Structure 1
């Protein structure tokens, strides 16, 4: 399985050394090397972070794409790294006549993977605190990036990420699959094409978080884990299982509940549902002008300390109001002529059957319906934009961060979506430029 780059370089070397008589003959290639499966078209991908999301979802999606080959995996946990290598080689082995394949490289340091010039693109599937630093490093190494959500820990980080992608002319995909879910996709198209009239209200929900976790004692670091590398840009802290993940497992990991590494559901699932709200509202490259939020937090001594539940209200310059809270995952659009409700894993609902039966004409706003990975790879090949590029992802995450900031600071906050600063709170602006690392005491 040759990569696009290795095929071209090998072919060029062969042509340069061939006799003149041989060069005069037509070049005959096997059929398997033609079309979308040709080595010259295949996109080589390196996967950074091979935890639960990677082995259950991301790798399997790439394996099903004939124009893609996963050529490298990277992780700071050697047990997970070895398993990922095995998964890749077994999957590609099934596609060979011999039934075996050896060729997936492994890296413990993402910088070494990024230095590999044979890799076209990377999938970043690490814990949240690593998403932006690795993505920006990948841009600078000439790689295109699909990054797991949430792509940022604070608002200014998102501006840096988006601008860097543009500056380096790199493809970026905020790796949320919700634009690929038929009911959410359909809802956005209907709303954008005026099937419920002028939008005035949007309601969105996400699941809540665990109540908390008692204080944890320091523990010996498992031999397979490079804990210093795992912590990376986060504040240094003693190792304990509930800070990272259980050894030799693919559990969701305690890091998702600790503010050093994540902000909880407000940003995690919020990256899905708020993105759909922005998409339908046609505000995906801007943001609200006002936010107010209230949050519920774990006890002061809880080891897991992200916000448990919240209610946030936003106002856009257009007058549209967005209500965002914990509960269940959904987006509801309300307009002057009806409503549309898209819920996770449920059929689309609307104020009338006529809304759902409406056809989107060729001359109206239409969006391609394809998987998030296909959207990314198509853009890598065409050098066009993905459905959720850096700016779209940044604006979605900004709304999530605004709720988190408002719940911590309190009061009604005025937001300038152009300057990306609060106009009435220096305390809130402090969190534009850095993550909220300490819990709010209840």
Structure 2
């Protein structure tokens, strides 16, 4: 395993000290970049550009995060980082080409490219970062970005484990940076039906809510297990990060086609499968409608099928049943229509994306279902009255993030809400692994009287990577 160079050690030692101070409530650290960059909150802040670094240059970055960010004049993308030098160079070229086309100037911007995102975070010209990495590389760069005073747009899920998700949320809160999760179903564009559905539920248009049914896709088994040489353009050890070392094969990482879906999505070493991959989206909407954004279930039980052969080993068919303290039951199953169905004493509402995905390679998202349905079509026509609950309105997820950076507001998907959406998914995944009904304490974030289930709240981390290294060594 390649040892970190001296500069990397210095950077990480610095982040370690900052993390301890942040968790203790002391964030004014000598020599540390300002937590709120003057380039953002100066006297002419609304007209200033927010300098952004893109961490991770694969499918989601190129097909979603960058195109959505390009639309807004407040943003200027000035740096990229990726452990795959081909993807890194391609992303740099894409960004420079976009600005050239927009401005007519071939030298308008020279995007800086970094092999190690820590070097990007050390660049004081950068105000904010977009993190579009594989799931096992979400919490750590988000924590380190917060400690470096960078505002954060993080793709879901927030974390690989509940422990590191809690750590991430706490540090974001302590440092005060602006955080947004890529849970774009909350924003009006491109799916206004989700906010409308949650407002209808919260305002009693289906009576007393008693059940929420969620449908998610599930992944197939398969994948080539043949050991292959590591490509020269991939820093594989860094790509594996805090997870155990295992030999390289293409279907474990990502295809040569930069827009293709990575095989890591189907490997438990790097995530939990669709229960977090799509689950964060739909459970987030369920929580919004249930008014349980800052908590989680109190009881949960699940069954799931897991492949016995092949490379890909995330869950297949499954069923999850959970209970919240409000008395509302949540049922999640791969056989349910993809979406969220709220059931009340006077009727039901079903909401989904329809047949529109975020990228061209997303799995089927709507199963040809109408995106907005109800037991009585008249429910969907109900107007919000002056005394009714009105939920946070965001035109588009990236636009909301940029606006909140400039105007010091909370985003529509802040860190704690994001963590709770993810932790509910991770609790469901643990229930797939541990038989019987589990009793979850959403305040302490532990299982009551179940040592086996509590073992899943964290994972061993491979030195020198991982959130444990930042905070404890």
Q: Please confirm whether the aligned pair reaches a TM-score higher than 0.5, indicating the same fold.
A: yes
Counterpart in the other structure of 1:187: 197
Equivalent residue number for residue 374 of structure 2:
350
The change in CA–CA distance for 1:362 and 1:122 in structure 2 (over 3 A counts) is farther
Counterparts in 2 of 1:24-173, with a 5 A limit? 36=46, 38=47, 41-98=48-105, 101-173=108-180
Q: CA shift at 1:434, angstroms?
A: 2.6
Q: What is the alpha-carbon distance in structure 2 between the residues aligned to residue 315 and residue 325 of structure 1?
A: 15
Equivalent positions of 1:297-308 (< 5 A) are 297-299=306-308, 301-308=309-316
TM-score, with length taken from structure 1:
0.88
Distance in 2, Cα, partners of 1:172 & 1:63: 19
Distance across 1 between alignment mates of 2:461 and 2:435: 14
1:333 equivalenced with 2:357 (yes/no)? no
In structure 2, the residue matched to 1:23 is none
- Deviations 1:95-115, CA, capped at 9 Å, x for gaps: 224355332111110000000
Contact preservation (8 Å) 1:80, 1:248: no
Write the deviation string for residues 132-182 of structure 1: whole angstroms up to 9, x where unpaired.
011001011011111111111111111111111111111111111111221
Q: Is the 8 A contact 1:222 1:247 kept in 2?
A: no
Gaps of 5+ in 1: 12-33, 438-442
Give the corresponding residue for 1:226: 235
| Equivalence map 1:276-425=2 (5 Å) | 276-299=285-308, 301-327=309-335, 328-345=337-354, 346-366=370-390, 367-425=392-450
Provide, for residues 159-216 of structure 1, a one-character-per-residue CA deviation record: whole Å limited to 9, x for no partner.
11111111111111111111122111111111112111211000011111012335x1
> Is the 2:40–2:406 Cα contact (8 Å) retained in structure 1?
no
Looking at structure 1, the residues matched to 89 and 385 of structure 2 have their Cα atoms a distance apart, in angstroms, of 50
After TM superposition, the score normalised by the length of structure 2 is 0.82
* Count, aligned residues: 406
Q: CA deviation at 1:245?
A: 1.0
- The 1-side partners of 2:286 and 2:320 are apart by 14
Provide the secondary structure at the position in 2 that maps to 1:138: helix
Q: Cα–Cα, structure 1 residues 435 and 288, in superposed 2: closer, same or farther, change >3 Å?
A: farther
Tell me by how many angstroms 1:241 deviates. Answer: 0.5
In the alignment, the residues of structure 2 paired with residue 241 and residue 353 of structure 1 have an alpha-carbon distance, to the nearest angstrom, of 48
- Counterpart contact for 1:259–1:436, Cα < 8 Å: no
Contact 2:139/2:168 (CA < 8 Å) preserved in 1?
Answer: yes
Contact 1:293–1:410 (Cα < 8 Å) also in 2: yes
1:250 lines up with 2:259 in the alignment? yes
Structure 1 residue ranges (4+ consecutive) displaced by more than 6 angstroms after TM superposition: 6-9
The verdict on how the C-alpha distance between 1:369 and 1:393 changes in structure 2, with shifts beyond 3 A counting, is same
- State whether residues 79 and 248 of structure 1, in contact with CA within 8 Å, keep that contact through their aligned partners in structure 2: no
Alignment check: 8 A CA contact 1:92 1:100 kept: no
User: 2:39, 2:45 within 8 Å by CA — same for their partners in 1?
Assistant: no
